[in-house]
Amino acid sequence: MSSSSLFNITMITYMVSTCIFFGFLASRSKVVGLAGTYAALFGFVVQTVAIGMRWKESYDMGHGHAPLSNLFESVVFFTWTIVMIFLFIDFKYKYHAIGFFVMPFALFGMAWAQLSLDSGIEPLVPALQSNWLVYHVITCFLGYAAFAVACGISIMYLIREQMEQGRDGAEAGGMLSLFPSIRVLDDLNYKAIMIGFPLLTLGIVTGAAWANYAWGTYWSWDPKETWSLIVWFVYAAFLHARITRGWIGRKAAILSVIGFAATIFCYLGVNLFLSGLHSYGR
């Protein structure tokens, strides 16, 4: 079996997982929630194997390199890290409802990669022939993925808060009972960002180290660099906002969503709309 067909299985599994999580919200059955998590886990394992195979395939073609070099590979890897961070939080805190708000990001990523991106394995151009590529991409994407999970949690927060207010503070029932409480969501949002922020910081530092090693400039205000700094500023603001009174809860959730929007722009928007050193996938 080739990596490509395994990626298809991954995509279908993530779709199934998303559907099961939806079923979980509708049925409120614990077993269904657990099934959603295990579906995600199965997809994750298949995807891990597929990424490993793609790596090996590149060696078979004679110019082996880690599968992190073009847009297709980076989207697949991003998806993989999102599911990894989600599974980590799911197994640790056991709130399966989060799955419905996070797995769609993974599903969307896989579907986009499989259906419309060029999946050819290309040899590395000289600029990318460096081990720094691996350190840089892995840390950045783990950070991005944690922010994706935080964004999903923040959306849950905003929905839950909206619905609670709609009921005039009455006992929140139905689907809502599956959501962690407002306080827990707020805390999880913070925890996810606490995972993401150090990783993004490492990502920026390894990127700067690479740029310095390869070009002699650790910082050149290239649009991608600048956007990563913008994202970093937003989450630094988030962290400081939490220590000041009146900024936890709703405002923090909104800041987390804005932060993820900036992250996505940093990842994709810069390549699609702006020019610079990082424009792969053109």
Partner 1 sequence: MQHLFGGTVLTTNKQGLTQQLWDFFCSLKLSIFLLIGLALVSIIGTVIPQGPQREYLATISETKIRLYSSLGFFDMYHSWWFILLLYLLTLNLICCSIKRLPRVWKVVSEPVLIMDEAFEKTLTTVKDVKIKGSAAELKDRVAAFLKTEFAEPVVTEQGGEFHLFAQKSPWCRLGVYVVHLSIIIIFIGALIGSFFGYKAYVNIPEGGGALQVRSSGGKTIDLGYEVRCEKFSVSFYDTGAPKEFKSILSVYENGQPVAGYQRVPIIVNDPLTYKGITFYQSSYGQSDEGVWYYLTVRNRNGGEPVKLKARQGERVALPGGAFLSVMEATMDVRPFMRGFEGPGAQVEFTPAGGSPKPFVILSEKYESLNAQHGDNLIITFNGMDQKFYTGLQVAKDPGVWVVWLGCFLMVVGICMAFFMSHKRVWARVSDKGVTIGGSASKNPTGFELSFDELVEKLNKYK
Using CB under 8 A, list all residues that contact partner 1.
63, 122-123, 125-127, 129-130, 132, 194, 197-198, 201-202, 205, 208-209, 212-219, 221, 223, 226-227, 229-230, 233-234, 236-237, 240-241, 243-244, 247, 262, 270, 274-275
Task: Report the distance separating Cα 14 and Cα 8, nearest Å.
Answer: 10
Q: Is 243 in the site for ligand HEM (CB under 6 A)?
A: yes
d(CA 143, CA 12): 25
Q: Are 86 and 102 in contact (CB under 8 A)?
A: yes
Q: Which is nearer to partner 1, 168 or 221 (CB)?
A: 221
45 vs 115: CA distance, rounded Å: 21
Min dist CB 254 to ligand HEM, Å, is 18
Taking CB under 6 A as the criterion, which residues in 170-209 touch ligand HEM?
none
Query: Residue 48 binds what, of ligand HEM, partner 1, none (CB under 5 to 8 Å, by partner type)?
Result: none
Minimum distance of partner 1 from residue 66's CB (angstroms): 15
Closest approach of ligand HEM to the CB of residue 235, in Å: 9
Interacting span for ligand HEM (CB under 6 A) from 76-84, 87-95, 165-173, 236-244: 236-244
The one among 41, 239, 254, 264 contacting ligand HEM by CB under 6 A: 239
Closest among 191, 275, 210, 200 to 234, alpha carbons compared: 200
Q: How far apart are CA 110 and CA 4, in angstroms?
A: 11
Nearer to partner 1, 107 or 188 (CB): 188
Phi-psi region of 66 (alpha: psi -120 to 50; beta: other; left: phi over 0): beta
Closer residue to partner 1 (CB): 158 or 239: 239
Residues in the chain, how many?
282
Number of CB atoms found within 10 A of residue 3's CB:
23
Rounded distance between C-alpha atoms, residue 116 and residue 72, angstroms: 9
| Contact positions vs ligand HEM (CB under 6 A) | 236, 239-240, 242-243
